[in-house]
Amino acid sequence: MVQFDVYENLDAMSNEGFPYFLDVQHSFHEGLQTRLLIPLSTQISSRMNGLEPIVVVKGRKLAAIVPEMVTLPTEALGKKVDNLSANSSDIINAIDFLITGF
């Protein structure tokens, strides 16, 4: 698994609003049984300025909901559909903003 890879959300209860997960865990920690993920949402708002960077996956605009980061077992992830390394600065800045406040 590679940092900034995007995976399908297999959970039928949540995948309509959150069709994908963005893996933000560094590949150095490949041996762990879980991955740190940011849900990608179809709902785009400006209420969380700086905490919800906009990304495009398979031609679809989505919001990376950084405050709702989760860990899931690797086997709970669907197939890889994209990689958002090109957005790494915005994503890391949003995580940093969540943790440090600036």
pLDDT of residue 46: 74
CATH match of 5-100 with 3.40.50.150: no
Provide the whole-model pTM.
0.94
pLDDT in tens, the chain (102 residues): 899 999 999 999 999 999 999 999 998 998 999 999 999 999 988 777 889 999 999 999 999 999 999 999 999 999 999 999 999 999 999 999 999 998
CB 38 within 8 A of CB 24: yes
The amino acid occupying position 12 is A
Distance CA 62, CA 44 (A): 7
